């Protein structure tokens, strides 16, 4: 990657003298030299891994025999978060083996290999026979959905809500029912919602900004109010609960406002279309869904 000999010498100095002691039954072994891998917990470790992986990603991006998804003038072949990677192939039947070849060549040098038990194929517009043929060619099982960074990806956008938002709503109901037995004050219950429920929903709002019906937010309000009042009649209106503390409210999250705030943030980011930071796979979804 042409980082320069000075950088390479610094990293070599740090990693050439690695040693560790192993604790066995309360007794420490003598120092052992670590000859492979990176230091666990070292802030340099994830950066070094990304450096090492970037050579693979660059080869795939530059390989004309691997065709990604085209959106206007841009072509998107992959998305990577550390070693969690998604590849987009326009013609997997004809070009899929080229991707496997690149991965295996890199793995022979880096000491890594594809985990075929965890790796899945998500296909669209293929017949059952074509899907089976693709599985045989690539040696990877095809499935109707795949999970990437906590998000269920599906071939059709209509099923994104069902597989992500609806499933999360069911999980929220179960969690609140189990937490309902806890001896919590009114403020404690609101704090529980803000600490445990809000981050999960906010993550979906930011990563899957699809159009949600009004009744979805009504359902969330219904289950959260049931938890707050322990199934009894509400003594304070939801409007007052969701108002700011400076105006006498209790700052209960207004789910619909958070949803629109996340969408507006994404739309504002999309408007930076002439900036280099926009050359990311996320641009595909945000531009389509927010326009």
Q: What integer best gives the mean pLDDT of the chain?
A: 85
Q: Name the E strands within the chain.
A: 19-20, 23-24, 27-28, 32-33, 69-71, 74-76, 78-81, 84-87, 120-122, 141-143, 146-148, 151-153
Per-residue pLDDT tens over the stretch 192-225: 999 999 999 999 999 998 899 999 999 999 999 9
Domain residue spans in the chain?
Answer: 45-143, 156-289
Question: What's the Cα-to-Cα distance from 157 to each of 122, 151, 153, rounded to whole Å?
Answer: 13, 13, 9
Separation CA 79–CA 70 (nearest Å): 14
User: Is 204 within 8 Å of 168 (Cβ atoms)?
Assistant: yes
Residues listed for the chain = 291
* Model pTM above 0.85: no
Per-residue pLDDT tens over the stretch 146-175: 999 999 999 888 899 999 999 999 999 999
Per the DSSP assignment, residues forming a β-bridge with 79 are 86
Per-residue pLDDT tens over the stretch 111-153: 888 888 889 998 888 888 998 998 888 889 999 999 999 999 9
């Amino acid at each position: 990657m042409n980082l320069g000999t000075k950088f390479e010498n610094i990293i070599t100095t740090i990693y050439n003298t690695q040693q560790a002691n192993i604790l066995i039954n309360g007794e420490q072994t003598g120092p052992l030299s670590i000859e492979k891998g990176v230091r666990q917990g070292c802030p340099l470790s994830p950066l070094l891994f990304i450096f090492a992986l970037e050579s693979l990603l660059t080869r795939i991006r530059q390989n004309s025999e691997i065709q990604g998804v085209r959106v206007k003038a841009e072509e998107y072949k992959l998305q990577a978060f550390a070693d969690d990677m998604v590849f987009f192939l326009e013609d997997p039947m004809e070009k899929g083996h080229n991707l496997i070849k690149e991965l295996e060549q890199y793995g022979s040098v880096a000491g890594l290999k594809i985990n075929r038990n965890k790796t899945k194929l998500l296909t669209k517009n293929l017949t059952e026979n074509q899907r089976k043929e693709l599985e045989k060619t690539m040696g990877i099982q095809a499935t109707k959905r795949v999970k990437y960074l906590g998000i269920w990806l599906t071939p059709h956008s209509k099923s994104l809500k069902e597989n992500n938002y609806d499933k999360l709503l069911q999980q929220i109901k179960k969690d609140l029912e189990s937490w309902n037995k806890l001896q919590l004050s009114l403020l404690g219950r609101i704090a529980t919602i803000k600490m445990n429920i809000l981050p999960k929903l906010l993550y979906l709002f930011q990563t899957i900004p699809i159009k949600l019906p009004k009744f979805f937010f009504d359902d969330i309000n219904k289950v959260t109010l049931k938890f707050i009042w322990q199934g009894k009649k509400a003594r304070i209106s939801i409007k007052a609960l969701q108002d700011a503390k400076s105006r006498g409210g209790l700052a209960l999250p207004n789910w619909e406002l958070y949803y629109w705030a996340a969408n507006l943030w994404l739309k504002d980011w999309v408007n930076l279309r002439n900036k280099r930071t926009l050359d990311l796979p996320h641009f595909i979804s945000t531009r389509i869904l927010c326009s």
